[in-house]
Structure 1
């Protein structure tokens, strides 16, 4: 006799987990297909690395439901996430030895109660170049840096401090209506190095047009720059996974991706979930990259070392 009773709860065990795993897989694999309307695509791109957190949660749910099909389904988003971002967690091939140039970049934060303490923390590893954004109290910054970094260039609220002479410096128009970026030529011992210190337009949920325009303007400036060796330090208000970042990645390497480990998140400083701060380069070989937690800023600093 055929049992025609409807399937019991066991046959549906784990169905919700399976559906969630499939949806997560589709989002991970196809996040670039989300239309970038009012910045929605950029937002999804930026948070995609964090979606990996859902994988162990779904696996736990599958185990609690005692569902083998659900546990197998969770392998799909796990494999896709690993394919997209697993390389970031491998030990970097490059070593810190032999770095000819060490750089650090820090958004100081407007309203920082003690910018001197913030910049003081940047000097611990003796970088050769320090790029700063949101500099509101240059005198207090100078009180800490001037002795060890006798050369500086300042444009509006961005600044470069250098151990080596700065041959020239000027503002860079990124379309904000006022210069919030500079380009300097540093006379390093091995030769001239073009250094950009940049603070691009802010991005908010639903309002990314200004940021997007400034990314494009920076890419245009870098594309037209004749320098063989070039470094970009700054708060670009853009995650590396954001499609808007692509014009820069087609022109420049990313020190964190090449010589760092992990995502290198920098914001917010207390529990960072994204990386708007970057060290980009061309004509150099990155040897190290990392993140430095400094006091009194809402951003962590980014560091990198390069061989000529």
Structure 2
């Protein structure tokens, strides 16, 4: 039996060993996969004690983890880790990236602004003057202490000669207001109103609303007020409807579904970004909204005003 011995060619390079991710790379890969699972499945978390609502509300912020993980993958010099980071990046873009597309824009025939004044506001008049400086047709106010809206209406009567008030919510208008009624949202006191604004282009049913508060361990009151408002809107036969106010729920929160099924979101349709409004110094969610039907939204954004813990929401519409 003849044995053939293969001799290595002198000077030949050794076969490269297959590179395996280091433990640091595996950490990045694991974190990327966990982030992808959270983004794709956070709505499957039961909304017990408000946990689901909280996760829905903050979910867009988890996109900030993607560039952090990408940098980590580069630092550990792992192509596999960098590839893994693409998964949550694609999921995040599919779910929330539409907010980063440039808005279409268009003519503005009606401008509105809504502001939670903050009950502890030391100078609400200064806050509202900042709102009026932009020249909106309608100014919706929530969380105003006793007599505040009446005083503001008197001060701004030359520009806003018409107003409507129910408890701590109110509406200042350049156009005539008729048929002011309180709206039952299931709270112990009336914290919402409906008014018909007679704009030059036609009548508008305007709701100014401050829904129930939500806490991590208690969302039942807020959820009930959403259902009650949705019930009122279903029964409203007006062609043009605006809902302005603090709904105490984010646009990404599953709890807002009864309203989003009935109305459009001005920020989603005509704004850039997510329009976060709270807290005003560094907002991380948007409890304040302008919802509508019967218009075309052409502008949306936020405005930081003095004295309050919420940013204002501004929107423009074409008839």
Task: Name the residue aligned to 1:118.
Answer: 127
Task: Name the residue aligned to 1:134.
Answer: 143
Distance in 1 (CA, whole Å) between partners of 2:189 and 2:307 is: 27
| Shift, 1:8, TM fit | 9.8
Give CA-to-partner distance per residue, 1:56-84, whole Å, 9 cap, x none.
11111111111111111000000110111
2:64 matches 1:53 = yes
Does the CA contact (< 8 Å) of 1:115 and 1:140 recur in 2?
A: no
Instruction: Number of aligned residue pairs: give it.
Output: 300
Structure 2 residue aligned with 1:92, among 88, 96, 103?
Answer: 103
Alignment of 1:257-272 (within 5 A): 257-272=268-283
Task: Name the residue aligned to 2:258.
Answer: 247
Task: Name the residue aligned to 2:314.
Answer: 303
* DSSP 3-state at the match of 1:14: helix
Structure 2 residue aligned with 1:205, among 179, 204, 216?
Answer: 216
Task: Name the residue aligned to 2:90.
Answer: 79
Distance in 1 (CA, whole Å) between partners of 2:273 and 2:302 is: 10
2:113 matches 1:104 = yes
2:207 matches 1:196 = yes
* DSSP 3-state at the match of 2:49: helix
2:67 matches 1:62 = no
Does the CA contact (< 8 Å) of 1:195 and 1:230 recur in 2?
A: yes
Does the CA contact (< 8 Å) of 1:116 and 1:143 recur in 2?
A: no
| Shift, 1:10, TM fit | 4.9
Task: Name the residue aligned to 2:284.
Answer: 273
* DSSP 3-state at the match of 2:43: helix
| Shift, 1:145, TM fit | 2.2
Change (3 A) 1:307 1:10: closer
Give CA-to-partner distance per residue, 1:253-275, whole Å, 9 cap, x none.
00000000000000000000000
| Shift, 1:85, TM fit | 1.0
Task: Name the TM-score, length of structure 1 as normaliser.
Answer: 0.95
Give CA-to-partner distance per residue, 1:196-247, whole Å, 9 cap, x none.
0000000111111111111111111111101010000000000000000111
Does the CA contact (< 8 Å) of 2:153 and 2:163 recur in 1?
A: no
| Shift, 1:12, TM fit | 3.2
2:33 matches 1:25 = no
* DSSP 3-state at the match of 2:314: strand
Does the CA contact (< 8 Å) of 2:153 and 2:160 recur in 1?
A: no
Task: Name the TM-score, length of structure 2 as normaliser.
Answer: 0.91
Give CA-to-partner distance per residue, 1:29-82, whole Å, 9 cap, x none.
111101111111111100100000110111111111111111110000001101
Distance in 2 (CA, whole Å) between partners of 1:87 and 1:32 is: 19
* DSSP 3-state at the match of 2:133: coil
Does the CA contact (< 8 Å) of 1:120 and 1:144 recur in 2?
A: no
Task: Name the residue aligned to 1:158.
Answer: 169
Distance in 2 (CA, whole Å) between partners of 1:228 and 1:10 is: 61
Distance in 2 (CA, whole Å) between partners of 1:111 and 1:297 is: 8
Give CA-to-partner distance per residue, 1:105-129, whole Å, 9 cap, x none.
0000001001011000001221001
Give CA-to-partner distance per residue, 1:89-146, whole Å, 9 cap, x none.
1110123x2x221100000000100101100000122100110001112344235422
Distance in 1 (CA, whole Å) between partners of 2:39 and 2:59 is: 7
Does the CA contact (< 8 Å) of 1:118 and 1:294 recur in 2?
A: yes
Does the CA contact (< 8 Å) of 1:119 and 1:144 recur in 2?
A: no
